[in-house]
């Protein structure tokens, strides 16, 4: 296995440290974009929130600081959920993770979690946020578990001490794939540190880029399993590769099929958060009961959803489809309306969702109405880039008179960035030239 990436003291002006920024589109110093539930496709969310004229972005950012050789600790920091914990690297259960019958390599496909490895990690979660409430501890421990599992799986006892600092603008528990976005950040960072990824670079062929992206995606899926148990794989796939995917599960006894749409066009989208709690498991059970009671009828509705999805996929992938053509967008909108109606027939909608559906008919009043009724809206783009890297983590905007240009983005600057706007000003990919150092794996066919 390649040696962990490290540099001598003083790299980038920081004594004994090196900084790496990774953002999944919609993820952070590794860029990862994902939306769970709202999207079957999406990675990039270019957004404007509320009535604010500025644009906000739904992403996660990961800042990696590699420590000097003498510092044998690894720290995970997630200030947005008030989480921080440090482990001594030498105290971690390397012995069982390195056993020949347990050892996994960066290129392996892992589809299930090893009970013995999970048990070995548990003692190292005991002190995580022990002073917090049980509800908060559950969230923090699942985050710590996902990190430690992949860190121990693909790392080695020789791994250098690091600080992994996460910032995210994606609401947690809102069905937007926040955990997958973070998982992609962590997986990409670890693989880059191990020198198991080449790129991204401008001359990288799409086939090679896809291979690299799939490697990240596989380990992000492992992290997702640590949190969700049996994830679909949609969120981490879209966060990693960007663009879009077609998700299909025909047999619940087998893994779902997730097919990438590498040439998916960028599309404008208005995303509205109803603030209504949901349970995917509960909705699935409702549909299952309906199907048992009315198998033929519900089967026909599910078949119609499949046909609507296939029709939309064919339309969007057609070589002549123009994402700026009003007629093409109108057809996509019609298919979305049809699909939503079919979901309503299955009983999986909610009055607040129906309210959102009705309001666009009076578009001029939409913004005011949404805000007055407690909704949160985002103008965004589907089909953008996937995971990206800012390395070295240095401010660049190409202006000779800019005193900040060329300054290192150290962890203090990253932590002190105030709110969504502050993080975007510091490291945002789309922020007026500041993002020129970001690089992405280009997966398009053309």
Calculated CA dihedral for residues 435, 439, 442, 446, nearest 10 degrees:
60
212 shares a domain with 119: yes
CA distance 292 to 299: 10
One domain, residues 99 and 203: yes
Q: What is the pLDDT of residue 230?
A: 83
Task: Please indicate, yes or no, if residue 268 is contained in any of the structural domains.
Answer: no
Per-residue pLDDT at 48 exceeds 50:
no
Final residue belonging to a domain, choices 344, 360, 379: 379
363 and 403 in a single domain? The answer is: no
Specify the number of domains making up the chain.
2
Residues 36, 103 within the same domain? yes
If one compares 293 and 372, the residue with the highest pLDDT of the two is 293
The proportion of the chain whose per-residue pLDDT surpasses 70, expressed as a percent, equals 74
For residues 35-60, average pLDDT: 36
State whether 254 and 288 are in the same domain.
no
Answer yes or no: is 6 within a domain.
no
- Expressed as residue numbers, the domain containing 136 is 11-258+383-440
pTM: 0.76
Average pLDDT over residues 299-317: 92
389 or 117: which leads in pLDDT: 117
How would you classify residue 154: left for phi > 0, otherwise alpha for psi between -120 and 50, otherwise beta? alpha
- Please determine, for residue 264, whether its predicted confidence score (pLDDT) is greater than 90: no
Task: Write the pLDDT tens digit of every residue in 328-360.
Answer: 888 988 998 899 999 999 998 888 888 877 766
Mean of pLDDT over the chain:
78
Residue 432's pLDDT band, with cuts at 50, 70 and 90, is: very low
110 in a structural domain = yes
pLDDT mean over 219-229: 93
Same domain (yes/no): 394, 316? no
Instruction: Please indicate, yes or no, if residue 1 is contained in any of the structural domains.
Output: no
- The pLDDT of residue 245 is 84
Catalytic site residue from 56, 235, 273, 385 = 235
Last residue of one domain, picked from the residues 364, 379, 394: 379
Q: Are residues 202 and 334 in the same domain?
A: no
> Does one domain contain both 412 and 351?
no
Distances from the Cα of 365 to the Cαs of 88, 326, 356, 371, 372, in angstroms?
A: 56, 21, 12, 10, 11
In this structure, the answer to whether residues 346 and 391 fall within a common structural domain is no
Give the pLDDT mean for 299-325: 90
- pLDDT of 114 above 60: yes
What's the pLDDT at 54? 31
Q: Is residue 2 part of a domain?
A: no
Q: Kindly state whether residues 396 and 368 are assigned to the same domain.
A: no
Final residue belonging to a domain, choices 379, 406, 430 = 379
Active site residue 263: no
In a domain, 217, yes or no: yes
Q: pLDDT tens for residues 59-100?
A: 889 999 999 999 999 999 999 899 999 999 999 999 999 999
Is the pLDDT at 147 greater than 70? The verdict is yes
Look at residue 445 and tell me if it is in a domain: no
pLDDT at site 253: 65
Same domain (yes/no): 238, 209: yes
* CATH number of the domain where residue 207 is located: 3.30.230.10
Q: Tell me, yes or no, whether 110 and 215 share the same domain.
A: yes
Maximum alpha-carbon separation in the chain = 71
């Amino acid at each position: 296995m390649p040696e962990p990436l490290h540099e001598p003291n003083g790299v980038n002006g920081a004594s004994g440290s090196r900084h790496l920024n990774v953002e999944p589109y919609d993820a952070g110093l590794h860029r990862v974009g994902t939306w769970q539930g709202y999207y079957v496709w999406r990675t990039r969310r270019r957004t404007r929130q509320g009535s604010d004229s500025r644009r906000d972005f739904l992403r996660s950012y990961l800042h990696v600081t590699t420590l000097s050789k003498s510092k044998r600790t690894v720290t995970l920091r997630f200030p947005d959920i008030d989480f921080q914990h440090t482990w001594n690297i030498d105290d971690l259960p390397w012995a069982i993770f390195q056993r020949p019958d347990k050892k996994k390599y960066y290129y392996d496909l892992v589809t299930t979690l090893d009970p013995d490895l999970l048990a070995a990690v548990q003692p190292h979660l005991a002190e995580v946020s022990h002073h917090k409430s049980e509800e908060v501890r559950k969230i923090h421990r699942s985050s710590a578990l996902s990190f430690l599992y992949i860190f121990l799986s693909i790392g080695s006892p020789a791994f250098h001490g690091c600080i992994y600092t996460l910032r995210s603008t994606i609401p947690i528990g809102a069905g937007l794939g926040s955990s997958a976005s973070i998982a992609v950040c962590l997986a990409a960072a670890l693989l880059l540190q191990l020198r198991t990824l080449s790129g991204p670079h401008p001359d990288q062929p799409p086939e090679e880029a896809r291979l690299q992206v799939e490697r990240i995606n596989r380990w992000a899926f492992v992290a997702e399993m640590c949190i969700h148990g049996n994830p679909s794989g949609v969120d981490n796939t879209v966060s990693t590769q960007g663009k879009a995917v077609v998700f299909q599960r025909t047999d619940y006894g087998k893994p779902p099929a997730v097919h990438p749409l590498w040439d998916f066009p960028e599309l404008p989208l208005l995303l509205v958060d109803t603030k209504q709690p949901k349970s995917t498991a509960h909705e699935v059970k409702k549909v299952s009961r309906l199907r048992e009671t009315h198998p033929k009828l519900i089967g026909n509705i599910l078949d119609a959803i499949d046909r609507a999805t296939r029709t939309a996929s064919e339309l969007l992938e057609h070589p002549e489809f123009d994402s700026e053509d009003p007629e093409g967008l109108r057809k996509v909108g019609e298919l979305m309306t049809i699909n939503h109606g079919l979901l309503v027939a299955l009983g999986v909608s909610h009055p607040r969702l129906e309210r959102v559906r009705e309001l666009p008919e009076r578009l001029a009043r939409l913004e005011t109405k949404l805000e007055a009724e407690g909704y949160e809206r985002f103008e965004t783009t589907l089909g953008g880039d996937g995971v990206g890297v800012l390395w070295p983590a240095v401010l660049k905007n190409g202006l000779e008179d800019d005193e900040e240009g060329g300054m290192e983005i150290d962890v203090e600057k990253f932590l002190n960035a105030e709110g969504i706007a502050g993080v975007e000003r510091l490291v945002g990919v789309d922020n007026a030239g500041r993002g020129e150092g970001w690089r992405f794996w280009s997966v398009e066919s053309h």
